[in-house]
Structure 1
Amino acid sequence: MRVCSPAHIKAYNSHILRYVGGLKDIFPGTSLLPNHHAALHIGDGLTRFGPGHSHGSSFYERYIAFFHRIGINNKSGQLEISLLRAAMRYANLRSILEDDEEIRETVAELVESMEAINRQDLRGYRLADLLDPTTSDLDRPEKGTPSTLPPDRYGLLCELLLQEGRAGTTNDVLSFARVSHDGLCYGVCNSPHFRNSSVLFRLKADDGATVHAGIISQIFCHKTGETNGWYLVIQEHIPLQRPGFVDPYRRYGFASGYLCEEEPTATHVIRLSDIISHFALTPMPQAGAIHVMALDQTMTSLELDNSGYTFA
């Protein structure tokens, strides 16, 4: 969440108190843990300090999982000191490059690589870069792979272009494994960037009023006339609608997500700008379903008062 309001904080406090209060009823024999106690104070932190990015650190957010996975060889503290030194050196290097134009020109490739890394995924303090008018809203890898859209995908692209009053002239495109837009990275499901392939999106066919969940199977750049457009092929997972089945998560509202069919049921071609946010995908094979939890950092679809969206 990039912003929060008293309504969000009140809703969180209500839900966490209900959860902790009923924990022993849901899971008999379970003991309350320190993280349950800490969770009860998150509302206090939001009230005093605002959203997490205002008092978090992107450097340590990035490496916290790394600390949990590696062996420290009984030398606690040495790795942390090394990372702190690396962070300080990086900060000093950026300061030098910002102040000295001559050095920037000498190491132009290094500067370009550093800026590309910074734009890949904005977290923590780096969310402020979204407000920087000099920050590009689109970052892509240097090279794409020339490819030809199969007839079914090209047909979907033509339908989308016709809705915009244009026509597709060729099915030749450049395909990419990932692309960053507005500071967030999106990747193809069969690539090393598969963790960024689960997205919520809008469809022009329903005027963008319904939120759909799907997996990115292709990212491509298509040229129409003199304009390059960025598009994604999405495999949609529709919400569970089985006879006699009631989704147990929906009654808890925005905080609990919802269930979708395990197998995709439809294919869409959408614009990159039609993505709303990522979502956390949890497989539930025993039910033949997946659980979808929106990860909307900019609060475009999870406003408590009136978002204008309905989930499919």
Structure 2
Amino acid sequence: MHNLFLGNLRHHCMDVWGIDIKGRTGKKVAPHTPEEQASWLHRVVEGIRKDSKNALSKIRIGYLATIAQFNDIDPGSLLTKRAYITALLHWAKSHPIDELKLPPVLNEDAVDFHLAEGKYDISKFRVLTPDVMEIIRDDIKNTVLPSWMERPPHNFGSAAHGKLKADQWRTVCTVSLFITLTRLWGNAPSDSKESALLDNFVHLVTAVDLATRRSMDVDRANAYDDHMQRYLQGLLDIFSHQLVPNHHLSLHLTSCLHTFGPVHGYWGYSFEHYNGILGGLNINNIAEHIALTFMDGFYAGAELRRLMATIEWPHSPEYHDMMEAYHRAFQDTARGTRVSDTRSLGHEQATAESIRAAYDSGSKLTALDPNLYPALLRWMPSGFASFYANAEDSRPRVAPHVCRASSISHLGLIFATRQHSRRNSFVIFTHPETGDKTAGQIADIFLHARVEGGTRVIAAFVAMDVYAGLTDVHAKMDPYRAFTSLDTRLYYNYFQSTVLVRLDDVLAHFAALTYTPEAIGVECIVARSLDRVSEPH
């Protein structure tokens, strides 16, 4: 967990791309022409000549950092504007100002001035520009995620959101950034810096995605190793980035995958959860009382959860507000990788129990849509006949009545109709006619009972609205299909049909974002599969 989500994903965003560079503005600023760049470089010289911190503080950090880099002036460990100003003025005290070399101006307009070198002319000060960050934040707001997944902060990249948890780094990198950067850079020329940046990042995302699947085999472990090695080589080739111990450890994870299998069997989410509980407790700093303080807080929290879950509170605005406040305060206890991992254990039995409970406590039986009855009949054993068969047919009949459910537990997760919970209605499923994995939205869930061999059998079915697949021409313009291991693709944002599928054929949720690709010209929906078991289609 620490190595992949914090040591690699977080490190890439903050230390490779420079999201953590203080003093970097998040506001829209006008780019400088080459002529303006030359003028601002000379302002730096004048500010140093006058020993004026005030004058230098009005200059963009890119000019200060580039001049320092070009003259081998070390700002220390802090890459802040103040640190660069201090370093430049300190250098001037022991060197004539005429010895200060100015870097060449760029051949293009630029917001963040930098030293142009290398094949792709990439600087950590300009990977994610303010314009790109604004698009990322808009996409985070507009992306629909299932309820079990922790949403990244809407102001990602700003110090205002505070420290992100490991699970949030996982979501923001493997879902949000992948969706946005692929749609922005996915169709860029293969020799462009955007293409190089995206390919390097996707190698990392793919490696993390493969390593954290809930099933593992030799091929998947070797694929992880290949993507991780390609990612690290890209850091050296593109950024000349100095590798850190976590990068070295990432290569040793392959042997762990071969030896011990899926990482969710031995990673530290539960331990980190309890560390978070301990760290959040108010204590009196008297060592002998800490254990009792922890126990008091733990049991108080457990009792509070029991009361909130079992008491039928009055239907009034005051109690509704109270419940909303409670769910906001304790939302992390029902979301995230730790919870979804735990619920996935023994999910087959949990699904069967959920189906029985939903049927026994559900609404009254209602007539099934006549258009769906033939599909239901096809799922029945051959020993059953249609309810409308001839009287001479002695086989037991398939009743055309069902019990509807708004949501149901499956694979340790909650799947729901779009009327009940839109977040949990976007799914990847196996199409009953083609056998292909495709994207759809749950329109209805219903439970059907039959008697088979003297035993009542209750089966769950889903009425699925199927998203229309791209034409062959448009499919070639889908930037997501280039990265097959991440199981993401575009569909037209309308339904082409409604099919009846068994609950067992529902494979996973998907993260959904709608936009209109410029090359296609029709509104599409991105389906980023969140399946952590199956092979990609």
TM-score by length of 2: 0.39
2:253 is equivalent to residue 253 of structure 1 = no
Query: How far is 1:126 from its partner?
Result: 5.1
Partner of 1:139: 354
1:233 to 448, 463, 485: 463
Q: What amino acid maps onto 1:258 in structure 2?
A: R
Partner of 1:106: none
Query: How far is 1:128 from its partner?
Result: 4.2
The CA RMSD measured in Å over matched residues stands at: 4.7
Q: What amino acid maps onto 2:403 in structure 1?
A: L
Partner of 1:217: 443
Cα displacement string for residues 59-105 of structure 1 (whole angstroms, at most 9, x for unaligned residues):
589999xx9xxxxxxxx733899xx7599659x99xxxxxxxxxxxx
Q: What amino acid maps onto 1:282 in structure 2?
A: A
Mark the CA change 1:244 to 1:172 in structure 2 (over 3 Å): closer, same or farther: closer
Q: In 2, are the aligned partners of 1:199 and 1:214 still within 8 Å (CA)?
A: yes
Q: Aligned partners of 1:37 and 1:239: how far apart in 2?
A: 44
Query: How far is 1:41 from its partner?
Result: 5.4
Query: How far is 1:298 from its partner?
Result: 3.1
* SS of residue matched to 2:483: helix
Q: What amino acid maps onto 2:262 in structure 1?
A: P
Q: Which has the higher strand share?
A: 1
Q: Aligned partners of 1:245 and 1:78: how far apart in 2?
A: 53
Q: What amino acid maps onto 2:412 in structure 1?
A: G
1:54 to 259, 265, 269: 265
1:11 to 217, 220, 223: 223
Mark the CA change 1:124 to 1:62 in structure 2 (over 3 Å): closer, same or farther: farther
Q: In 2, are the aligned partners of 1:17 and 1:40 still within 8 Å (CA)?
A: no
Q: Aligned partners of 1:37 and 1:166: how far apart in 2?
A: 65
* SS of residue matched to 2:485: helix
Partner of 1:292: 527
Query: How far is 1:231 from its partner?
Result: 0.7
Q: What amino acid maps onto 2:458 in structure 1?
A: N
Q: In 2, are the aligned partners of 1:239 and 1:260 still within 8 Å (CA)?
A: yes
Task: Write the mapping of 1:185-204 to structure 2, written as runs, cut at 5 A.
Answer: 185-192=414-421, 194-204=422-432
Q: In 1, are the aligned partners of 2:281 and 2:297 still within 8 Å (CA)?
A: no
Q: Aligned partners of 1:191 and 1:271: how far apart in 2?
A: 19
1:179 to 370, 386, 408: 408
Q: What amino acid maps onto 1:124 in structure 2?
A: D
Partner of 2:510: 280
Cα displacement string for residues 142-191 of structure 1 (whole angstroms, at most 9, x for unaligned residues):
53233333333334434544888542554332111211235333222221
Q: In 2, are the aligned partners of 1:145 and 1:174 still within 8 Å (CA)?
A: yes
1:149 to 368, 377, 380: 368
Q: In 1, are the aligned partners of 2:462 and 2:503 still within 8 Å (CA)?
A: yes
Query: How far is 1:123 from its partner?
Result: 2.9
Runs of 4+ in 1 over 6 A off after TM superposition: 36-40, 60-64
Query: How far is 1:291 from its partner?
Result: 2.0
Q: What amino acid maps onto 2:373 in structure 1?
A: Y
Q: What amino acid maps onto 1:231 in structure 2?
A: F
Task: Write the mapping of 1:297-308 to structure 2, written as runs, cut at 5 A.
Answer: 297-299=532-534, 301-302=535-536
Q: Aligned partners of 1:238 and 1:125: how far apart in 2?
A: 34
Q: Which has the higher helix share?
A: 2
Q: In 2, are the aligned partners of 1:212 and 1:238 still within 8 Å (CA)?
A: no
- Which structure is larger by alpha-carbon Rg, 1 or 2? 2
Cα displacement string for residues 226-258 of structure 1 (whole angstroms, at most 9, x for unaligned residues):
543211111111332253551222232222522
Query: How far is 1:272 from its partner?
Result: 1.3
Mark the CA change 1:190 to 1:166 in structure 2 (over 3 Å): closer, same or farther: same
TM-score by length of 1: 0.62
Mark the CA change 1:273 to 1:177 in structure 2 (over 3 Å): closer, same or farther: same
Structure 1 stretch displaced more, 48-57 or 36-45: 36-45
Unaligned segments of structure 1, at least 5 residues: 68-75, 94-108, 111-116, 303-310
* SS of residue matched to 1:150: coil
Residue identity (%): 21
Q: What amino acid maps onto 1:54 in structure 2?
A: G
Mark the CA change 1:245 to 1:253 in structure 2 (over 3 Å): closer, same or farther: closer
Partner of 1:78: 281
Partner of 1:99: none
1:263 to 484, 487, 494: 494
Q: What amino acid maps onto 1:154 in structure 2?
A: Y
Partner of 1:124: 341
* SS of residue matched to 1:3: coil
* SS of residue matched to 1:200: strand
Q: In 1, are the aligned partners of 2:489 and 2:526 still within 8 Å (CA)?
A: yes
Query: How far is 1:196 from its partner?
Result: 2.7
